[in-house]
Chains A and B, each alone.
Chain A
Amino acid sequence: EPEVTQTPSHQVTQMGQEVILRCVPISNHLYFYWYRQILGQKVEFLVSFYNNEISEKSEIFDDQFSVERPDGSNFTLKIRSTKLEDSAMYFCASRGQRSNTGELFFGEGSRLTVL
């Protein structure tokens, strides 16, 4: 069964450092998303990406965040200068080609710990 894969599974970084989280969406999917989940809280939308550009972003997704699809397979989330409050589980998700296909497939997440 096709799946969304994410790396690293866990990253520990110092405050102010840059972090790149990587995702390989399901191969024939065209819509990509990043969500985050702070420990014990709900899953929150960060950004959606389609046709090599951001479709929508939340208030959380400020200038410190960026996304990129550098090579047609990977989908990355970069945090330029991490803050303590960026500590969370980050989930990548992808959706199928048909625009009315609702199901988002989530990866297992990358846990980011900012010290």
Chain B
Amino acid sequence: QQQVKQSPQSLIVQKGGISIINCAYENTAFDYFPWYQQFPGKGPALLIAIRPDVSEKKEGRFTISFNKSAKQFSLHIMDSQPGDSATYFCAASSHDYKLSFGAGTTVTVRA
């Protein structure tokens, strides 16, 4: 059972553009939704996270939008930079913080 579905698989954006990655989940017990950034050869690093009591969270150029009724959440990267080129994983967990990861989105920012 794929608990977290992520799309698109990859995207290319021009420098300064907006990258949008979408995720949907099935388990209504999930109450923690982080996004991880992974560079080649490195481990995932927490980028930003949200809990279902808010609909949006912004940290710098990164924003999570959360729709509890639709069981969907998304990551927006504003003013995308070449250094943002990486693979992004959405994830979800309940109180045990056992993360279920999405399949990942490879973002390429063209200068």
Partners in one complex: yes
Binary A-proximity of B58-70 (CB < 8 A = 1, otherwise 0): 0000000000000
Once A106-B45, A108-B43 are accepted as A-B contacts, the answer to whether A42 and B102 lie under 8 Å apart by CB is yes
Binary B-proximity of A79-98 (CB < 8 A = 1, otherwise 0): 00000000000010101000
Interface size bracket, A side: 20 to 34
CA distance A35 to B93 in the complex (A): 14
Closest to A105 in B: B46
On whether the beta carbons of A103 and B34 are closer than 8 Å, the reply is yes
On whether the beta carbons of A102 and B34 are closer than 8 Å, the reply is yes
On whether the beta carbons of B43 and A91 are closer than 8 Å, the reply is yes
Binary A-proximity of B71-111 (CB < 8 A = 1, otherwise 0): 00000000000000000010001001111111110000000
Query: What would be 6 A-B contacts, judged by CB atoms less than 8 Å apart?
Result: A35-B99, A43-B36, A45-B98, A102-B32, A102-B49, A102-B93
Q: A interface vs B, CB < 8 Å?
A: 4, 31, 33, 35, 41-45, 48, 55-56, 91, 93, 95, 102-109
